[in-house]
Amino acid sequence: MFVADLPELPRRLAAADPGWSETTDVLVVGSGVAGLTAALHLREQGLHVTVVTKVNIDDGSTRWAQGGIAAVLDPLDTPAAHANDTEIAGVGLCDPAAVRVLVEEGPARVRELIRLGASFDRNADGSLMLTREGGHRADRIVHAGGDATGAEVQRALHEAVRRDPWIRLVEHALVLDLLRTADGRACGLTLHVLGEGSEDGVGAILARAVVLATGGLGQIYSSTTNPSVSTGDGVALALRAGAVVTDVEFVQFHPTSFVTASVTSVQRPLISEALRGEGAHLVDETGARFMVGQHELAELAPRDVVAKGIHRVLRATGADHVYLDARHLGREFLEQRFPTIVASTRAAGVDPATELIPVAPAAHYASGGVRTDLRGRTSIPGLYACGEVACTGVHGANRLASNSLLEGLVFARRIADDIARDLPPQAEPAHPAADAGPGWVVAPAVRAELQRTMTRGAGVLRSADSLSATAKELTRLAEQRDVPRNAAWEATNLLTVATVLVAAARTRRETRGCHWREDFPGAEDEWRGHLLHTLDRRARLDQSFEEMT
């Protein structure tokens, strides 16, 4: 069924013909946990790998992750218990087979990461220190540097990649469009590399398989925990190529981003859920703990429940934040266990040992994305997706805390195994289909307007009216065309993913997980399934619903 009343979307980005080309066995796009882990496993299979990344190797979301990696590492914990918590958080939309893969293979992948050099926090007896976060009923989160887990994971992977001369790293490379063979198989990408010798830096990398590991899309909103590179590039590219994307309406809002006038960027500092895991409380302006009585786990309920609880307080009080009270945890403990958070709040004049921390929800994680099977294969042969850009089925309607780094580790390995099992020879790309047209892009200024309109109408709380107004606004923004350049390509990717999100959010007339419809407050059995989207050859957005079996 075609979706009406939404902007037209490009099937190609406007760009010059590639002025240079090179070849590799496998092209990995993105340099966070998913991309770098995939690259390292592909090397174990003896393949040559090229990793392209939009800015610098460490600039993605991974290094910002604080809480940790969830995995069954305590002998008293079980994969079944981890699966159960994951599925409860996912509110009926997790794929049980994918969840089983995640929880059963996770512990081995974490141990591999330790062997690679990642150093996680340990108890005095040398055992791994495990903590708890929202939605978990056991202590199963490993962490590093207290609250700097992502930075340590990124450091270990980065160093391993740099040690391998057969991994070519191309930084400052924005991917544009997928190249396909005459019979439809992915065989490379066009991309723009800053500083590349040719006239405008547009080139092509041809490969026998392509892995998208481009991360999330939090930059469609005005406040997000995601860095500025998280512009939905992989989902938008996959859509333009005709791949199936799914569950895009389920964007998770992290309950506790730091609210401070001193941060003026769209990216807001995260206040890790682990702080609540260690006993911090959410309080309103009168000092009352408003999550108690709303859920049996109170502040440690799944994230969608806590974000909704905060949003209700904000609506009732008109304030732009509630507070996190960590004072009772003590100065010494806070400084040692949460050095990143203490440094960022103190830099803004808030000492968590003596003061309340102002917090509010911010866009954090895309639970949906490019649809894959259990081997990371998308609907386009030769094209794989891994990490936040992918929808493997493990997160359902709401990701469980600290399952994201884990998903990157687990599915990167599966993808490398699948590629090594069945890698065709290099093939020539067909000419882009004439009916994909010359391509177009919107003006860079669309980005800020789009962030405001998405936050107003398609953020934490949605309704038919707010989504219709957002759709109209997106249609107006799509008419602001411009010439090709990096900021315009990114703005076009944001427009593409925002449009699909609004289409899905309008259609899903229920409240489930992190999709909250004011006009349809309950979860409905008839909506227990997935909305799938593709762009057809005429650039029309096709939408279908697939019931869970």
Catalytic site residues? 303
Candidates 166-174, 180-188, 270-278, 475-483 — which segment interacts with ligand SIN by CB under 6 A? 270-278
Residue 310 near residue 348 (C-beta atoms within 8 A): no
d(CA 392, CA 376): 7
Q: Minimum CB separation from ligand SIN for residue 20, in Å?
A: 38
Distances in Å between the Cα of 146 and the Cα atoms of 66, 117, 274, 348, 359 are: 8, 17, 10, 20, 20
Q: Minimum CB separation from ligand SIN for residue 183, in Å?
A: 40
When the beta carbons of 272 and 492 are compared against ligand SIN, the nearer one is 272
Distances in Å between the Cα of 54 and the Cα atoms of 169, 174, 227, 327, 391 are: 11, 5, 12, 40, 21
**The two structure tokens encoding residue 374:** 């259990």
When the beta carbons of 190 and 230 are compared against ligand SIN, the nearer one is 230
Q: Which residues pair with 369 in a beta bridge?
A: 246
Interaction residues for ligand SIN, span 396-435 (CB under 6 A): 401-402, 404
Number of residues that bind ligand SIN (CB under 6 A): 11
d(CA 415, CA 377): 8
Residue 42 near residue 125 (C-beta atoms within 8 A): no
Can you state the angle between helices 233-241 and 486-507, rounded to 10 degrees?
Answer: 80
Q: What is the x/- site pattern for ligand SIN, positions 151-190, by CB under 6 A?
A: ----------------------------------------
When the beta carbons of 274 and 416 are compared against ligand SIN, the nearer one is 274
Q: Minimum CB separation from ligand SIN for residue 146, in Å?
A: 11
92 three-state secondary structure: coil
Candidates 266-274, 287-295, 354-362, 376-384 — which segment interacts with ligand SIN by CB under 6 A? 266-274
Determine, following the binding rule CB under 6 A, whether residue 273 of this chain makes contact with ligand SIN: yes
Candidates 163-171, 200-208, 267-275, 382-390 — which segment interacts with ligand SIN by CB under 6 A? 267-275
Q: Nearest residue to ligand SIN, using CB?
A: 67
Q: Minimum CB separation from ligand SIN for residue 247, in Å?
A: 17
Helix (H) or strand (E) holding 53: none
Among 169, 220, 274, 412, binds ligand SIN (CB under 6 A): 274
Which amino acid makes up residue 217?
L
Helices and strands in the chain: count of H runs, count of E runs: 13, 23
d(CA 357, CA 461): 24
d(CA 134, CA 137): 8
Neighbours of 520 (CB within 10 A): 18
Q: How far is CA 325 from the centre of its chain?
A: 28
Q: How far is CA 494 from the centre of its chain?
A: 14
Among 50, 190, 272, 511, binds ligand SIN (CB under 6 A): 272
When the beta carbons of 141 and 243 are compared against ligand SIN, the nearer one is 141
When the beta carbons of 257 and 470 are compared against ligand SIN, the nearer one is 257
When the beta carbons of 137 and 540 are compared against ligand SIN, the nearer one is 137
When the beta carbons of 256 and 496 are compared against ligand SIN, the nearer one is 256
Q: Minimum CB separation from ligand SIN for residue 67, in Å?
A: 3
Residue with tokens 């390995």: 413
Q: Minimum CB separation from ligand SIN for residue 1, in Å?
A: 34
Q: What is the x/- site pattern for ligand SIN, positions 341-380, by CB under 6 A?
A: ------------------------x---------------
Helix (H) or strand (E) holding 533: strand 529-535
When the beta carbons of 204 and 266 are compared against ligand SIN, the nearer one is 266
Cβ partners under 8 Å of residue 224, min gap 6: 218, 230, 266, 267, 268, 362, 363, 364
Determine, following the binding rule CB under 6 A, whether residue 144 of this chain makes contact with ligand SIN: no
**The two structure tokens encoding residue 158:** 């980065």
When the beta carbons of 239 and 363 are compared against ligand SIN, the nearer one is 363
Determine, following the binding rule CB under 6 A, whether residue 534 of this chain makes contact with ligand SIN: no
Neighbours of 320 (CB within 10 A): 10
Picking from 118, 131, 188, the residue whose alpha carbon sits closest to that of residue 409 is: 118
Cβ partners under 8 Å of residue 418, min gap 6: 375, 376, 377, 384
Which amino acid makes up residue 191?
L
Radius of gyration of the chain (CA): 22
Candidates 41-49, 187-195, 265-273, 431-439 — which segment interacts with ligand SIN by CB under 6 A? 265-273
Q: Minimum CB separation from ligand SIN for residue 365, in Å?
A: 6
Interaction residues for ligand SIN, span 50-79 (CB under 6 A): 65-67
CA atoms within 13 Å, Cβ hemisphere of 35 = 33
Q: Is 262 exposed, middle or buried (0-12, 13-18, 19+ CB in 10 A)?
A: exposed
Q: Minimum CB separation from ligand SIN for residue 64, in Å?
A: 9
When the beta carbons of 39 and 405 are compared against ligand SIN, the nearer one is 405
Q: Minimum CB separation from ligand SIN for residue 376, in Å?
A: 20
Q: Minimum CB separation from ligand SIN for residue 273, in Å?
A: 3
Tell me which residues touch ligand SIN (CB under 6 A): 65-67, 270, 272-274, 365, 401-402, 404
